A and B are shown apart, each in its own frame.
Chain A
Amino acid sequence: MADNNNLLVQVEDLKIHFFTNEGIVRAVDGVTFDIHSGETLCMVGESGCGKSVTARALLQIVHRPGKIVDGSIVLYRQKSHDQIEKVRISDLEPKGREIRSIRGKDISMIFQEPMTSLSPMYTVGNQIMETIMLHTKADKNQARARTLELLEFVGIPRPNRIIDEYPFRLSGGMRQRAMIAMALSCNPRLLIADEPTTALDVTTQAQIIDLIQGLQKDYDMGVLFITHDLGVVAEIADRVAVMYLGNVVEYSDVYTIFNDPQHPYTQSLLRSIPKVTATREKLEVIRGMVPSPFRRPSGCPFHPRCPKAMPVCSEIEPKTISLTENHQVHCLLFDEDAKKPVREMAS
C-alpha cells in the first residue's frame, strides 16, 4: 500500500474556509491523506465535520462563500503507458477546461444527495448519455446502448422503461442507482462515493458494494468512500480516516481502527453503534454538542467533549503523531513534548 507507484491522489494540509456574513467557518482545516489505485479509503466522522466539502474539493467544486485557502491536491494521471503526469487540482480554475476533462472521467463522484445531481428536467437516460458523450467518442445510439447496459448493471429493473423516466418518478434507491450508473459510465480512475448506499436496503447495498469492488479489481480503481455506517467500513475499507471538526484525527488500516483505536473520538464513535443483536438499552453518546464552527474550541477541538482531556488540551493544538508507520493520531495524549511543560509548571 505504501507503494508510491500506485499513488493516485495526494491531499496535503488542505484548508477550506467559508467566508460567511457571520464569520469564517473553518470547514476543512489541515487535512492530509492519500489514495492509491485499487485501494478503498473510508472517511468517517461527525456530521458537519467536512467530509463532503473535502470530497468536492477533489473535483474543484467548492461553492461560494467557500474557498480552498491552503494546501494542495495532486492527481497522478496516467498520460501514456509509462508516463505519469502530476496535476495540481487545487490550482485549477473551477470552471476551466482542464478540471472539466477530469470530472466524470479521471475522478467521478456519487453525490450524497441524488436529487441535486440529477436534474428534474431531463430523463435519467439523457443525463447518463450526456456524460458518456462528453468524455468519449460515442454517438447517440452507442451512448444509449451503454446507458442501458449500465442501468442493468446497477440492478435497475426494466432498464428499457426507466431510461426514459424522470428522476422524481423513481424511488430513493433507484435514483441512487441511476447516479451510480452515471458515475461509473466512463470507468473513472478514482471514484468518490459520498454515502452512496445510505438510501439503500442491505441486500441492494451489498450488491452495489460488490459492483464497486468488482470494478475496482478489474480496473484498479481507487475509491474514496464516505459513510456513517461503521458496518460497511468494517467490510470494505483498506484504510480509514476519522475526521472531527475539519481535521483527520486518526488514520490507519481498518483493523487497527477497529481493534486498537487510540484517539478518544474514535473510541467513543465505536461505542455508540447500536448492536443488531441487542434492543432498547440507552445508546452511548458523546457528551455535549458539536461546537459552533464560528467558535472553535481552543487547543484540541475535541477537548470539551473528550473523556480523557488533560489541562493542556485546551491550550495546545495537537499535531499529527505517528504511532507506527501506518497509524497517525491527532491527539495530545501521545505527544510527550506537549505534555511535559505543563507537568513541570504544575510541580
Chain B
Amino acid sequence: MTEQTPQSQLNSIATNGKPLLEVRNLKMYFPIVKGIFGKITGYVKAADDVSFYIQSGETLGLVGESGCGKTTVGRCIVRAYKPTDGSIVYQRADETTVDLAKVDSKELQTYRKDIRMIFQDPYSSLNPRMNVFEIISEVLRVNELCSPKEMEYMVAHIMEQCGLRPEYMRRYPHAFSGGERQRIGIARALVTSPRLVVCDEAVSGLDVSVRAQILNLMEDLRREMNLTYLFISHDLSVIRHICDRVAVMYVGKLVELADANALYTNPLHPYTESLMSAVPIPNPNLRDRKNRIRLEGEVADPSNPPSGCYFHPRCRYAKERCSTETPVLRDLGDHHFVACHFADELELTGVRMA
C-alpha cells in the first residue's frame, strides 16, 4: 500500500536518533461530493505524501501558503482526522512505538493527554456553553487524571502562566477578547503536561508583549519538561525564534526542510525564497527599499494540481523540465532537503537583514 517514495530518505536518518514522532508518507484526501446522491467527483489532496520526524525535545516549524495543508497534517497527528494513507509512528514514554494512524478511537483516548493540539481558530474551538474552568479541565475530568481539588489548582496555575486571570475561571468565552481566547486554548492544551504539542497558529492573535511571554513560557516548558512541538505559523519571525528545524509546504507536499538558520539565510527552494522576501520588517524607513518577490499566477488547486513541479506556474526560475517532471525531495547536504530540479544551481536570497 505504502509505496516507497524517495521521501523515505528522510526516515533513514530519523531512525538513528529515535524520534518522538515519525510521519511517513502521510496522505489525507478529502472527497469532493456533488449532488444529493453524494457522488464523489474528485479529491482535495490536502496532504500528499508528507514525511518528517521530530526528535524528543525539538521544535519543528511548519510553514507554507495558506491552504497548503498544515492544519491537516496537524490534525492527522492528533488523530482529529483519520489519514487516508501513511503512518504516524509515536514513541511512548516506555520507548515502545505505536502507529497512531492505525489505532482505534478507544485506544486513542490513552494518548489524548500526551499529544495535544492548540487549535488555529480560538472561536470555533471553544465551546460557548462551557465556562473557562470547564474548558480547560475537560481533558482532566474525562480521563480522571486528578481530584476536583487538584483540578481547580491546576487550572488556576496554568491560567496564570498563560497570562490569564484565574478569577475569570467561571466566565464564558464570549466575554474575552480574541487574544484572551487564544490563551484559553493554549492553557487547555498545556494543562495535562503533554509530551507533544501541535501548535497551530498558537500565538498569531496575540500582541507582541503577551506573545513574548507565551513564547518564553513554551520555551521554558520545553527545557524543563522536555516538551516537543510541531509549531505551525505564518509568522516567520516567531518560527525563527522558536524552531530548531523548519519544514516548508506547498500544495500538500514538503518542498524544503532544513535547520532553521540554513533555511532563512540560504533557502534552496524558490518558494521559500519568495516567503523570505515577503517577511515584513518592523522599520518604516525600509519600506520602499525592499525587493519583494510578488508571486504571480493562480494559487494552485489541491484537487487539480499543476503538472510537474506544483510551483512551476508561479516560479520565476522555471524551465521546461519543471512542467513535466516532478522534483523529488532530496538531501543537498547537512540534512538540508529540497524538492527543486535546480536547487544546486540557483543562487537564492535569504531573509532581509534589518
Contacts and interface: CB of A to CB of B under 8 A. Distances in A.
Contacts of B177: 47-48, 52
Given A195-B178, A199-B204, A268 B209 contact: yes
B209 A201 contact: no
Contacts of A237: 284
B241 interface: yes
Interface stretch (A86-94, A122-130, A185-193, A285-293): A285-293
A41 to B, nearest CB: 14
A173 interface: yes
Secondary structure of the A contact surface, majority rule: loop
Given A113-B123, A157-B298, A199-B201, A204 B66 contact: yes
Contact of A157 (B240, B299, B351): B299
A231 to B, nearest CB: 3
B250 to A, nearest CB: 10
B178 to A, nearest CB: 5
A203 interface: yes
Considering residues B67, B121, B176, B354, which has the most beta carbons from chain A within 10 angstroms of its beta carbon?
B67
A228 B237 CA distance: 13
B67 A173 contact: yes
A156 B301 CA distance: 9
Given A201-B63, A228-B207, A234-B284, A171 B212 contact: no
Interface residues of A, number: 66
Nearest to A268: B209
A6 B219 CA distance: 48
A286 B213 CA distance: 8
Contacts of B208: 228, 230, 269, 272-273
A173 B200 CA distance: 13
A112 B274 contact: no
Nearest to A258: B284
Interface stretch (B14-22, B85-93, B287-295): B287-295
Interface in B161-219: 163, 165, 167, 175-180, 201, 204-213, 215-216, 219
A241 B188 CA distance: 33
A216 to B, nearest CB: 15
A274 B66 contact: no
A97 interface: no
Given A228-B211, A280-B242, A172 B180 contact: no
Interface string A278-316: 111011111001101000000000000000000000000
Contact of B66 (A46, A201, A259, A290): A201
A80 interface: no
Interface in A21-77: 44-48, 52
B308 interface: no
Contacts of B165: 289, 292
Interface in A121-157: 155-157
11 contacts: A116-B123, A157-B300, A201-B63, A202-B234, A203-B65, A274-B237, A276-B236, A277-B351, A280-B219, A282-B219, A289-B163
Interface of A: 20, 44-48, 52, 112-113, 115-116, 155-158, 170-174, 176, 195, 198-207, 210, 228-235, 237, 254-255, 258-259, 268-270, 272-280, 282-286, 289-290, 292
Given A207-B295, A274-B212, A279-B261, 6 more contacts: A112-B178, A174-B66, A270-B282, A275-B241, A277-B240, A283-B241
Sorted from nearest, which 10 A-B pairs have the closest CB atoms?
A: A173-B66, A47-B179, A231-B280, A283-B212, A171-B67, A274-B241, A202-B278, A48-B177, A157-B299, A272-B212
